[in-house]
A and B are shown apart, each in its own frame.
Chain A
Amino acid sequence: AQKVTQAQTEISVVEKEDVTLDCVYETRDTTYYLFWYKQPPSGELVFLIRRNSFDEQNEISGRYSWNFQKSTSSFNFTITASQVVDSAVYFCALSEFTGNQFYFGTGTSLTVIP
């Protein structure tokens, strides 16, 4: 079974629209970490955020915000007022305290149309 599911394969939005990227994870650990990465067309994955399982406080960084809900095992990512530069593939990842690897989702390809 997939430990990290990103059900949205591709999303297209018009510039300035808001968009939410979904991430659902599965783990039996009580301590775990969740991450979001951005992979622009150039290829390099860029680390965006880390959350630990004990901190459900939502976080906002500029136009980016993250909604972590343990009750639904979700860690969704919202981009407000999207821009063309936001076009990329976004990956959600899980790391378990008792594990020894990252589990990446299959990614969501976001295209922002000018």
Chain B
Amino acid sequence: EAGVTQSPTHLIKTRGQQVTLRCSPISGHTSVYWYQQALGLGLQFLLWYDEGEERNRGNFPPRFSGRQFPNYSSELNVNALELEDSALYLCASSLRTYGGNQPQHFGDGTRLSIL
């Protein structure tokens, strides 16, 4: 069974640019989650999508946005990149969760560097 796949693996951008990160969940998983892991910090929750809808959003500015497609894959968009956006962006997927009971399974992440 293929795991969560993310692309690209690495990305280098400059301040002010825009970036799109992609995630394909495990087959059968309908929920997709995005996290930011900056150097030395834990996982900061960004977004949760399920069945194409945004279910919850973390404490990030509106320039962080995303969507989920009918095939349950997802994109994370970041506009007007800032230096502090440099981080590992992790995508996770899970089966439909009832009261948070499903474990999340993570991809390898996209390493975003802002110059």
Contact = CB atoms under 8 A, between A and B. Distances in A.
A91 B106 contact: no
5 contacts: A43-B109, A101-B56, A103-B45, A104-B35, A104-B43
A42 B108 contact: yes
B42 A44 contact: no
Given A91-B42, A104-B42, A106-B41, A99 B100 contact: yes
Q: How many residues of B sit at the interface, in one of the four size bands?
A: 20 to 34
Given A100-B56, A101-B45, A107-B42, A43 B100 contact: no
Interface string B88-115: 1010100001011101111111000000
A45 to B, nearest CB: 4
Contacts of B58: 101
Interface string A49-84: 010100000000000000000000000000000000
Contacts of B72: none
Interface string A98-114: 11111111110000000
Contacts of B108: 42-44
B52 to A, nearest CB: 16
Interface of A: 31-33, 35, 37, 42-47, 50, 52, 91, 95-107
Interface of B: 33, 35, 41-43, 45, 48, 55-56, 58, 88, 90, 92, 97, 99-101, 103-109
B41 A50 contact: no
Contacts of A96: 99-100
Nearest to B55: A100
A47 B103 CA distance: 7
Sorted from nearest, which 4 A-B pairs have the closest CB atoms?
A95-B100, A97-B99, A45-B106, A106-B42
